């Protein structure tokens, strides 16, 4: 009861604290068919439910368990996945008839392959549901033919294709976790294909070993000579809550041959323990969804083996969320070698043991033990302690993504340090690539891999080939683990914080770290562009010399011709989903009375003589600022409105770095303009008609064009000293703030701040309402407008621009990624000044 109230309290607390979870936004998003992340598909009209994957040792053949078929796919080619052979294996008409007579849906009666494992060098072992009457068969992997010998699949494969199971073959023996009956209520963990003195083993039929489990995965640990099973089940030890689900790890020893009298042909080494994915004083993420093993780093002890699992919660406060927890093998081992709870087999109640310890449950070699010891094992197989996650905390929590599958890889970065990269599949069909940092998880990218919701899918990582296979009902998709060439400037390459990718200053491209010997620009931990791209800058200076800087030749930006009183909308592409966009006008303030900052980063205003002129849009990410677009808004058919002689762009372009600091703080000037980018960069298909300013285009000659398939103008500039300080003071955008009880105070303060912000905004809206009545309807600005923008302030700003520019001009120009390109090919369609 005591623990019940504790749990209730935790529920309440978590419900209260949950809003302070920081968003985990993928930095870049690639939709299906995006050129930046080319996927290779295998689809065939006569093949479906391709959900079980098995990769050959050389990584050239992918065996796929499908509906009524096993496939061998040729995956050795870079550009395509080809069908090598297909083995049909379907139930007969009579089997199907019987299946539907038993009341099963016809769509569930085919043979869904659910076990696919290498048996030995020459054969693959496969099992399928076979019209709710599971069967297993031997497939010759060379000839890809089925042998005449087939086995009954009871206890090896589920009857129902929607029931999850797990299977692993070690030394020619099959270890499985599945339900062993038609109705799906006799779960069993068993061993099959044992020969000689070794007999097939299973769990004793008496109740209590397993409680309505959902099997997730199984792993062989060579050093231990043990198999671990991962599953969730009803936690009977918590009898105070109805159907409280717990996640479990269980173990069996491979040397087990069953007891001599007690536990004959039954496991004597079965033990289970709770896997607790829970941060201190928070509600646990209690339902395991998937788990993958990360072997220890080279030279590290086997005990450092880690298991990364995805967990969701059974409670609605946490619905839609998922957490990743990691568990260390040494922690699992010490829980299994500790104390055990006692099961009263009459009442099926668990209690803490008081009787004398007769045996060590979970110990290998118990098959030789006395009947007394084995009777003890029958009642003491649930470990007293739970396995806690590494660091006693969650590796990652996502409030908005429901993860279902994962695979994990250790990647050596350019600094020779190892980083853990997780590939996580969401319910909605995206593959997230996340790197685990001190400050939390950073999602490098998301790639859309399927469109329809899929009930059962799988992930298979091929580290040597650098690809991931996703098996779904729609087909098989191959995703390269990285595409470094997508990042076409050093800042982009560094900001990605992708351990696979680094900036090569020689070839001036973002390249795979594993392919390169030279030192690359990369900063996984901090994403500091300045430091990581410094070497690149030096190389660039050496090569081009300070005199040949393209600074003076940058174009004046895109010309936008408008009529007065027209509503103008200027687009600002986001550099990434983590960047924030800001607008600036040289020599002028963007008064919130005249300008509307829209959610997608664009700027909207009414064309009046005051609003004509130049506009710059910046994108700031992780303290690094780059110019994304420059516009020159000009009155239509009025050639003398603004001439290049009035504005000399090269003098204005090197923006003073202090602005990046000032702009990030919400103030009356930036007001509603400060927002998080909701726009998705790769999703944006920027199609704008551009005109060029003839007077300036001739200056364009010495410009290096490094724009690859990008449909917007990108200018980058090097950040100065101030930005470095800024970087130190402000936490990284992607950092995940931990959520602690003591942070309650912070939450309250934030609440107060929010309220005052709300009031301010209300006042602003009211003021806006009043003002809108005085907004000029004709093209001439009223005196009111002029008065609202104090002249002194303008003058001061102008001075700022000029003085800062003097100090920065040369510096900026040396930025390696400086791109002065303004008329991308194929622009058409929406005018930026389309009236809205």
SS3 string, 318-382, reads HCCCEEEEEEEHHHHHHHHCCCEEEEECCCCEEEECCCCCCCCCCCCCHHHCCHHHHHHHHHCCE
- CB nearer to ligand NAG: give 122 or 806: 122
- CB nearer to ligand NAG: give 71 or 554: 71
> Can you tell me the distance from the alpha carbon of 722 to that of 778, in angstroms, rounded to the nearest whole number?
44
What's the DSSP call for residue 21? P
> Least Å distance between CB 58 and ligand NAG?
18
- CB nearer to ligand NAG: give 433 or 585: 433
- CB nearer to ligand NAG: give 708 or 795: 708
> Least Å distance between CB 670 and ligand NAG?
32
- CB nearer to ligand NAG: give 222 or 455: 455
> Least Å distance between CB 113 and ligand NAG?
10
Q: Which of 502, 511, 496 has its CA nearest to residue 413?
A: 502
Q: Phi and psi of 671, rounded to 5°?
A: 40, -125
- CB nearer to ligand NAG: give 480 or 673: 480
For residues 750-772, b (16+ Cβ closer than 10 Å) or e, as one string? eeeeeeeeeeeeeeeeeeeeeee
- Residue 397's H or E segment, with its range, is strand 396-398
Tell me if 634 sits within 8 A of 558, measured CB to CB. no
Tell me if 530 sits within 8 A of 624, measured CB to CB. yes
> Can you tell me the distance from the alpha carbon of 503 to that of 531, in angstroms, rounded to the nearest whole number?
12
- CB nearer to ligand NAG: give 337 or 368: 368
- CB nearer to ligand NAG: give 486 or 726: 486
- CB nearer to ligand NAG: give 339 or 709: 709
> Least Å distance between CB 140 and ligand NAG?
8
Q: Phi and psi of 618, rounded to 5°?
A: -115, 155
What's the DSSP call for residue 18? G
> Least Å distance between CB 197 and ligand NAG?
7
Q: Which of 446, 450, 480, 447 has its CA nearest to residue 466?
A: 480
> Least Å distance between CB 811 and ligand NAG?
29
Q: Which of 443, 520, 529 has its CA nearest to residue 491?
A: 529
> Least Å distance between CB 172 and ligand NAG?
7
Handedness of CA 51, 478, 684, 421 (dihedral sign): positive
Tell me if 595 sits within 8 A of 584, measured CB to CB. no
- CB nearer to ligand NAG: give 73 or 556: 73
Region for residue 440 given its phi and psi (left: phi exceeds 0; alpha: psi -120 to 50; beta: otherwise): left
> Can you tell me the distance from the alpha carbon of 583 to that of 753, in angstroms, rounded to the nearest whole number?
25
- CB nearer to ligand NAG: give 94 or 142: 142
Helix runs in 689-740, H state only: 694-697, 721-729
Tell me if 660 sits within 8 A of 627, measured CB to CB. no
> Least Å distance between CB 656 and ligand NAG?
32
> Least Å distance between CB 825 and ligand NAG?
15
Token readout for 52 is: 């079980």
> Least Å distance between CB 626 and ligand NAG?
18
> Least Å distance between CB 421 and ligand NAG?
17
What residues contact 98, with CB distance under 8 A and at least 6 apart? 131, 133
Token readout for 679 is: 């726009």
> Can you tell me the distance from the alpha carbon of 593 to that of 583, in angstroms, rounded to the nearest whole number?
15
> Least Å distance between CB 608 and ligand NAG?
40
- CA distance readout (Å), 352 to 341, 357, 469, 635: 5, 12, 46, 84
- CB nearer to ligand NAG: give 122 or 351: 122
> Least Å distance between CB 288 and ligand NAG?
20
- CB nearer to ligand NAG: give 347 or 515: 515
- CB nearer to ligand NAG: give 4 or 162: 162
Tell me if 478 sits within 8 A of 38, measured CB to CB. no
Residue 207: Cβ within 10 Å count: 11
- CB nearer to ligand NAG: give 201 or 598: 201
- CA distance readout (Å), 15 to 8, 12, 159, 309, 749: 11, 5, 39, 23, 18
Token readout for 700 is: 């364009």
Does residue 7 sit in helix, strand or coil? helix
Site residues for ligand NAG per CB under 6 A: 35-38, 48-49, 112, 119-123, 138, 161-162, 257, 368, 455-456, 473, 480, 483, 485-486, 708-709
What residues contact 288, with CB distance under 8 A and at least 6 apart? 216, 230, 231, 232, 247, 248, 275, 277, 309, 310, 311
> Least Å distance between CB 164 and ligand NAG?
11
């Amino acid at each position: 009861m005591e623990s019940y109230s504790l749990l209730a309290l935790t529920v309440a607390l978590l419900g209260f604290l949950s809003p302070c979870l920081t968003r985990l936004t993928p930095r870049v998003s690639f939709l299906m068919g995006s050129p930046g992340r080319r996927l290779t598909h295998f689809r065939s009209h006569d093949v479906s439910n391709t959900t079980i994957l098995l990769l050959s040792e050389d990584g050239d053949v992918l065996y796929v368990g499908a509906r009524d078929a096993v496939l061998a796919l040729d995956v050795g080619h870079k550009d395509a996945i080809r069908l090598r052979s297909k083995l049909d294996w379907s139930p007969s008409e009579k089997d199907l008839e019987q299946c539907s007579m038993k009341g099963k849906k016809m769509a569930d009666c085919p043979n869904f392959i659910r076990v696919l494992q290498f048996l030995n060098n020459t054969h693959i072992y496969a099992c399928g549901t076979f019209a709710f009457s599971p069967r297993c068969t031997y497939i010759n992997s060379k000839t890809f033919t089925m042998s005449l010998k087939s086995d009954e699949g009871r206890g090896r494969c589920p009857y129902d294709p929607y029931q999850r199971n797990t299977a692993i073959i070690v030394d020619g023996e099959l270890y499985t976790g599945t339900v062993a009956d038609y109705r799906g209520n006799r779960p069993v963990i068993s061993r099959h294909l044992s020969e000689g003195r070794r007999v097939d083993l299973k769990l004793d039929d008496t109740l209590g070993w397993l409680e309505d489990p959902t099997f997730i995965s199984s792993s062989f640990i060579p050093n231990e000579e043990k198999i671990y099973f991962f599953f969730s089940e009803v936690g009977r030890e918590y009898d105070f809550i109805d159907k409280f689900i717990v996640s479990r790890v269980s173990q069996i020893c491979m040397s087990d041959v069953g007891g001599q009298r007690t536990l004959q042909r039954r496991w004597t080494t079965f033990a289970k323990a709770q896997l607790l994915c829970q941060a201190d004083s928070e509600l646990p993420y209690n339902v395991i969804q998937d788990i993958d093993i990360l072997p220890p780093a080279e030279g590290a002890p086997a005990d450092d083996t880690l298991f990364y699992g995805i967990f969701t919660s059974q409670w609605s406060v946490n619905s839609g969320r998922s957490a990743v927890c990691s568990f260390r093998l040494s922690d699992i081992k010490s829980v299994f070698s500790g104390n055990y709870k006692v099961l009263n087999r009459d009442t099926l109640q668990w209690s803490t043991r008081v009787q004398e310890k007769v045996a060590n449950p979970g110990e290998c070699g118990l098959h030789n033990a006395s009947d007394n010891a084995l009777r003890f094992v029958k009642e003491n197989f649930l470990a007293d302690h739970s396995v806690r996650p590494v660091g006693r905390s969650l590796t990652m929590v996502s409030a908005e993504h429901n993860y279902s599958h994962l695979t994990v890889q250790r990647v050596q970065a350019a600094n020779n340090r190892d980083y853990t990269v997780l590939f996580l599949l969401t319910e909605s069909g995206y593959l997230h690539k996340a790197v685990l940092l001190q400050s939390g998880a950073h999602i490098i990218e998301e790639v859309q891999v399927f469109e329809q919701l899929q009930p059962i899918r799988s992930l298979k990582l091929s580290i040597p080939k650098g690809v991931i296979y996703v098996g779904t009902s729609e087909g098989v998709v191959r995703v390269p683990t990285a595409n470094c060439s997508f990042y076409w400037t050093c800042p982009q390459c560094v900001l990605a914080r992708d351990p696979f990718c680094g900036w090569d200053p020689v070839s001036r491209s973002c390249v795979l770290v594993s392919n390169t010997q030279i030192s690359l620009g990369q900063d996984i931990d901090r994403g500091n562009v300045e430091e990581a791209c410094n070497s690149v800058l030096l190389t660039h200076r050496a090569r081009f010399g300070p005199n040949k800087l393209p600074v003076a030749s940058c174009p004046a930006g895109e010309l936008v011709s408008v009529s007065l009183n027209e509503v103008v909308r200027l687009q600002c592409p986001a550099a990434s989903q983590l960047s924030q966009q800001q607008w600036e006008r040289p020599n002028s303030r963007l008064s919130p009375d005249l300008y509307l900052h829209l959610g997608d980063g664009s700027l909207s205003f009414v064309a009046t003589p005051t609003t004509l002129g130049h506009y710059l849009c910046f994108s700031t990410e992780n303290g690094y600022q780059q110019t994304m677009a420059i516009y020159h808004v000009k009155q239509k058919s009025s050639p003398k409105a603004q001439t290049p002689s009035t504005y000399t762009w090269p003098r204005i372009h090197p923006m003073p770095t202090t602005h990046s600091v000032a702009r990030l703080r919400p103030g009356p000037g930036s007001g509603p303009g400060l927002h998080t980018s909701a726009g998705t960069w790769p999703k944006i298909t920027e199609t704008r008609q551009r005109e060029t300013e003839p007077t300036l285009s001739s200056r364009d000659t010495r410009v290096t064009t490094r724009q690859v398939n990008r449909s917007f103008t990108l200018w980058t500039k090097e950040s100065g000293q101030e930005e470095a300080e800024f970087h130190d003071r402000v936490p990284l955008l992607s950092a995940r703030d931990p959520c602690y009880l003591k942070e309650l105070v912070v939450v309250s303060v934030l609440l107060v701040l929010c309220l005052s912000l709300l009031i301010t905004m209300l006042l602003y809206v009211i003021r806006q309402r009043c003002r809108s009545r005085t907004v000029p309807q004709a093209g001439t600005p009223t005196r009111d407008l002029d008065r609202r923008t104090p002249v002194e302030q303008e003058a001061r700003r102008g001075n700022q621009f000029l003085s800062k520019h003097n100090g920065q001009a040369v510096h900026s120009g040396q930025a390696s990624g400086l791109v002065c390109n303004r008329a991308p090919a194929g622009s058409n369609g929406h005018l930026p000044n389309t009236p809205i």
